[in-house]
Amino acid sequence: MRARFYLFSAVLISLSLMMTMTAPTTLADECDDCHSSSDPNPSGGYAYYEPVLSLVHDPFYPPDSDVRIRVWISYPDDYSVKDVSGSLSISGSNLELTSGGEGTGEEGADGGQGLCWDLRSSAEGECNITVEISFEVFFEHESPGSKDSGKYTETLQGTIVIADLALRASPGTVILSNVGEVGSIQLSADEDVEDISVELSSSLKGLVDISLGSTSLSSGGSAVVDLELLSLNDTTGHIFIYWKEDGELKQQKVIIRILSLEGGEKSTDIYLIIGQITGGAAFILLLIEYFTGGSGMLKKWSNRVFNTARKRIAFHCALSFEVLILSVFHFSTLIYGPYRELIWIWEVVLGEMAFLVMIIISINGIFQKRMIGWWGYQNWRRVHAWGTYLTTFLLGIHIIFNGSHFAWLRDLLGMR
């Protein structure tokens, strides 16, 4: 019976190790390598949805006025964007940078990230701009070892119009991402204007409700165009603003972007779940082994529970095999799954060291009689006992610093 049990255990361990050795390697240079939205079961269960970059500026600027250009990065809340940097280049002599070409960082109340540049306009005309943005995406995993991140670079191009018109609209791009959200466009008149009207492009009809505060403005006056998002549907459209100045009909348009930034539900990572269950079960059984082992008062109490020392030792051996098999599955499934590129981080190495000590203890226990014959009972007992203490100590640190369900403790201790 014992030979069959050993054979069964060896088969399970061999299969797990074979699965680990044949695990596919993913080089996480970018987040979508591990978190591809086309993958039904991405690493960690999180799917990667590309952030949306928006180039934001007014429809036009008068000559000799301050110009502000912004690039805004919108993204779901299941990951964060960090280390945003960028550079602005201008083709034409109608604009001149008054701030640094690298841009100034911004952070919005909704968690978005962006950069802005301040410029000064000169003569009327058009000026082409090119913005190159670099940023890093980082998935906030519960485990400090799972630092899947990727660096991305995007290039945006636009045209700045310098013109002397009576009615100005700001901003030139409005981003809406939540049903019921209200955005606004500020209208300001440099001269008397009348017959102001607004019109939605066809792509926005039924999605946005629009209202205009006033249809005429005197010089120096202002009005507000309110936009309420009625329904989510990823699209880009325009609001056309018409007015008359000096009896002539004028027009400008504002870009409206509707973005659905809900990253979707977190999918199930079966390897992570199996790894968590087997790891937790192995550690609990390891603690129970202290009760069934052969040290001090616990030995006497355990003998009473099992009636005889023989039954206690048999149960202790069975638990040891269970701990070893569960540990193999714990290691194999996590290395096959979300930890395939994280085998050498120190939190994981502690677990691997504990696993190696556990194998030594198991060999020491399986070949007990032979080991005792080689170096004596007391030395055998010391190796078995102190090996168990060392394993428990290493696993305790491994669990606290790397266990997915101990993120609250790391937060409490300020370890994250």
44-48 contacts, C-beta under 8 A, 24 or more apart: 44/139, 44/141, 44/146, 44/148, 44/269, 44/272, 44/338, 45/266, 45/267, 45/268, 45/269, 45/272, 46/78, 46/79, 46/139, 46/263, 46/266, 46/267, 47/263, 47/264, 47/267, 48/79, 48/137
Give dist(CA 90, CA 148) in Å, integer: 35
In the chain, residues under CATH classification 2.60.40.10 are: 50-164, 166-263
The Cα–Cα gap between 110 and 237 comes to 22
Give the angle 336-340-342 at the CA atoms, nearest 5°: 145
Structure tokens given for 163: 């013109």
Residue 361 structure tokens: 């203890």
Q: Which CATH number fits domain 50-164: 3.30.1050.10, 2.60.40.10, 3.50.30.30, 3.30.70.260?
A: 2.60.40.10
- The whole-number pLDDT of residue 402 equals 78
Q: What are phi and psi of 119, to 5 degrees?
A: -135, 175
What is the full per-residue pLDDT of the chain (416 aa) written as tens digits?
455 555 555 555 555 555 554 544 444 567 777 777 666 667 667 778 888 899 999 988 999 999 989 998 988 887 888 888 889 998 888 888 887 666 677 665 455 678 889 999 988 999 999 999 999 888 766 555 555 678 899 999 999 999 988 999 999 999 898 899 999 999 999 889 989 999 999 999 899 999 988 889 899 999 999 999 999 888 999 999 999 988 889 999 999 999 887 766 677 777 778 888 899 899 999 888 887 876 666 777 777 788 888 888 888 888 888 898 898 888 888 877 666 666 777 888 888 889 888 888 888 888 888 888 888 888 888 888 898 899 999 998 888 887 777 766 776 776 65
Non-local (6+) Cβ contacts of 18 within 8 A are: none
- Spell out the CATH class of 166-263: mainly beta
pLDDT confidence of residue 111: 55
As a whole number of Å, the CA-based R_g of the chain is: 33
For strands 208-212 and 104-107, give the pairing: unpaired
